[in-house]
Chains A and B, each alone.
Chain A
């Protein structure tokens, strides 16, 4: 590349811009314009030397000259406006476009988190603050972890093949996250304070409030001296932090689950009425004993909350099927 010519262009640009800046009236400005861009202007002068350059350098040099020309033109037009006494507000920007600042910003592609995951993360965070660790277990389980270890007798209706997704004998999609309770207790000695969020599967007929795959958050505490009163306080704390609403109420209504005793439904009063959010209770001594934990010394509570239920209540979503439709127009509302 011919360094000399390139340097000429650079000098030309610097000098022209300096002259434009120092011009104090329109005729002075016009003189600068003619001096640089005119037929006999300095830019033409430099371009006349093009022929002396090696052929391969000519396109690059030409392009560079064009950039200089555009810069000078822009500076001229800006100076012209300045000299015509226009107010600063109406001045155009450097590119010479009149900026309509009321135009919307250009679109930034923003993704979103799924509402079920948003709620799940929030629940994990709140329980984390309450001292619960996250535990995990497989989604395909054997009958021991899904039923036997949870004190569900062999002839119990919950084991019916029609009520579960069996893969083969002794292997099924877990029908509850309580399976993780058993896995945690098998693996380590008490005390425990864990939660296990995850998918569960039941061949229910699909409607606005039922699906055959949904999410639960299981909780388990086993320690010395744990009572139903601790269960109540924990769930109350959790829902207060989750909803941040003085008007919410929680009640534990006696119920029946094979793996807890006493057992209760978790009823939440929020906004317009009572909703069933899940089940809870004191861990049945049979469950503790089946994994070799002395139920006289250790007591505990467990709960299972429906994550979709919480998400539907929190975001005012009327139909559980929306969660798995994955319509972008639904999903993007949670960005």
Chain B
């Protein structure tokens, strides 16, 4: 909100440079975002929090400043001369009637009428005030109602009484489909949720939001009706949102105006109007008030020791009293309430002791409270957090750049990887920011793959990315998403390794993670990789999925990316579940210090037989002293019989207590070869 320094001076005599005023206001919660010079005036742009509608007027700001500086706030003049009857001899209630049809929405309505209003140009002081804060001067009546709005934070509305049809003003719900032409030139169709001010013919104002063009007060108006009201905040907000209409008035009504302020603002308006022109105001006012709004919160006790417990600094009782009184709270002196504080009508945000302690802290200065050290405490680092960090370090160490993609997925997110992995209905977002990001992602890969495309199209030739993030799945019987932590990685190269070598590279990352988590050691050999089905969506023959026991916990393989040349490889693991299986204890295992014997074995075997079949067979053979089996090479070529491939693997033998002889190893290997020949129709390659 724009606040003029000269205008503040109307309420409190401040003798400080504008920068000091801005700083003081900032440090009590009215953040000053900028200071602009305007003639001999300065205008501060203040950020007012939503719980303080009382600060949406100069007097409210001045009250804070007066309390901060220990200065008095000047009293507000509200008196004006009145006449009892109009020239036709009618009282106010004979001239016009106010009927509030919907007290739930319109809690208070105050109407007064002035006759013979000469609404010419505004005097210089008024023009300066409202122009300083960016309003345009229109005529005396309009300018004065704007002035009171910006002074007291109470919206006022003036109607040209001669343009109203009939002699009744009704505050009611709009009829479905009722039309309304607003003062800003916009046209609206209303519904029964909108509250309106109407005469006998039609809607003349949208309550709390904007007046209608038909009863606008022009320069020539002679009889005006001034409305000062209290409208229920939430419906005003909803009407504004629905009609995409906002105003300085609705901004305040939405935040709840001071219920006592309605009458004060009305009288202030007529005080100023009568000061500037020879207007005749009819005596009395037409008023309605909802009963519950008359009730105020019970007076509040403020314990100095509680103030100290919350702030960490002892504030004297005198200081507490000075601050609260300065802000308009009233210390009760009689009966049960003696010593308690009554809350002023404009502070609907205060109803508890803590609210008043905040006020004391705010004005005293939260920044002045001395620092107090907490007791020293140590905490253990969680095992899973440590392991998770080590997984990320592993990914970094293997050349992957950690990425950050959005948790939202797109309808077509599984075009590349297919929906076999992470199948299931997605959770739908009702109001996505981007129209295509309407679901919660079930896999991290689509996001990473889209980054691969972005990078490659920008000319980055080698792209290795990884991300650890949550995905959102559905589970039968659960009414909220199952959130899983996934690790995903991608590798795409303009001119890199291809085929089996590339597969082994991307698979190697998965194996390294499983090793790091000691999955194989813990969940004894139950981690297996199977080829994915041909219709999975991933490139068949190049993709595999990881099973631990019967759970599918990962996938690696190749995908085709539109517009990206070369091969793109990717993998994803259900890291959260794997972490549950992980073995945290590190324990040294004795190893044999005897020399080992290595043998390469090169066999030719049918293409249908997988490495897993071979390794299973080797394992089943239970070779004596076999320490390790390692895959070395796979080769296909013209030299080999059709439908066959050559597979080379390496066997390491080692005994715990002696040096093995070549002869005994050769014998063992020969036994294995015979077994492979018999069971897998393998042939030793020469």
The residues of A with any CB-CB pair to B shorter than 8 Å are 56, 109-114, 116-117, 121, 128, 130-134, 138-140, 142, 155, 157, 160-162, 165-168, 171, 173, 193, 199, 201, 203-204, 206, 212-213, 221, 225-230, 232-234, 236, 251-256, 261-265, 282, 284-285, 299, 323-329, 331-332, 335
| Chain A residues whose CB sits within 8 angstroms of the CB of B472 once the complex forms | 139-140
Asked whether A111 and B466 contact (CB < 8 A) given A162-B241, A166-B431, the answer is yes
Q: Return the chain A residue nearest B392 by Cβ.
A: A113
Asked whether A206 and B433 contact (CB < 8 A) given A265-B31, A328-B463, the answer is yes
Interface residues of B in 417-457 (CB under 8 A from A): 427-433, 440, 448, 451, 454-455
Q: Do A262 and B357 touch across chains, with their CB atoms under 8 A apart?
A: yes
Asked whether A134 and B480 contact (CB < 8 A) given A111-B400, A228-B312, A236-B371, the answer is no
Sort chain B's interface into a size bin: 35 or more
Q: Do A134 and B399 touch across chains, with their CB atoms under 8 A apart?
A: no
Give the residue of A114, A264, A282, A325 whose beta carbon is less than 8 angstroms from that of B402.
A114
Asked if B406 CB lies within 8 Å of chain A CBs, one says: yes
List 21 A–B pairs whose Cβ atoms lie within 8 Å, in order of A's numbering. A110-B396, A111-B399, A116-B404, A131-B377, A138-B480, A138-B483, A139-B483, A140-B483, A161-B431, A165-B432, A171-B480, A221-B374, A227-B309, A229-B311, A233-B374, A253-B367, A255-B29, A261-B357, A262-B361, A263-B358, A326-B454
Asked whether A193 and B470 contact (CB < 8 A) given A251-B367, A326-B454, A331-B403, the answer is no
| Chain B residues whose CB sits within 8 angstroms of the CB of A236 once the complex forms | 371
Q: Do B458 and A327 touch across chains, with their CB atoms under 8 A apart?
A: yes
Q: Do B241 and A253 touch across chains, with their CB atoms under 8 A apart?
A: no
Q: Do B406 and A213 touch across chains, with their CB atoms under 8 A apart?
A: yes
Asked if B389 CB lies within 8 Å of chain A CBs, one says: yes
Asked if B234 CB lies within 8 Å of chain A CBs, one says: yes
Q: Do B406 and A233 touch across chains, with their CB atoms under 8 A apart?
A: no
* Complex CA distance for A121 and B396, rounded to whole angstroms: 15
In the complex, identify which listed stretch (B44-52, B103-111, B203-211, B635-643) lies at the interface while the others stay far away. B44-52
| Chain A residues whose CB sits within 8 angstroms of the CB of B377 once the complex forms | 131, 193
The residues of B with any CB-CB pair to A shorter than 8 Å are 26-29, 31, 49-52, 233-234, 237, 241, 308-313, 352, 354-355, 357-358, 361-362, 366-367, 369-379, 381-382, 385, 389, 392, 395-408, 427-433, 440, 448, 451, 454-455, 458, 460, 462-466, 470, 472, 479-481, 483, 686
Q: Return the chain A residue nearest B363 by Cβ.
A: A254
Asked whether A112 and B406 contact (CB < 8 A) given A228-B361, A230-B374, A254-B27, the answer is no
Q: Do A162 and B431 touch across chains, with their CB atoms under 8 A apart?
A: yes
Asked whether A261 and B354 contact (CB < 8 A) given A113-B396, A157-B50, the answer is yes
| Chain A residues whose CB sits within 8 angstroms of the CB of B367 once the complex forms | 251-253
| Chain A residues whose CB sits within 8 angstroms of the CB of B49 once the complex forms | 255-256
| Chain A residues whose CB sits within 8 angstroms of the CB of B362 once the complex forms | 254, 262
* Complex CA distance for A193 and B361, rounded to whole angstroms: 24
Q: Return the chain B residue nearest A265 by Cβ.
A: B31
| Chain B residues whose CB sits within 8 angstroms of the CB of A282 once the complex forms | 310, 354
| Chain B residues whose CB sits within 8 angstroms of the CB of A228 once the complex forms | 310-312, 361, 366, 369
Q: Do A254 and B371 touch across chains, with their CB atoms under 8 A apart?
A: no
Asked whether A167 and B395 contact (CB < 8 A) given A114-B402, A134-B385, A328-B401, the answer is no
Known: A140-B480, A168-B430, A203-B433. 10 other contacts (CB 8 A): A110-B397, A111-B399, A161-B431, A162-B241, A213-B407, A225-B309, A227-B369, A230-B372, A261-B354, A285-B352
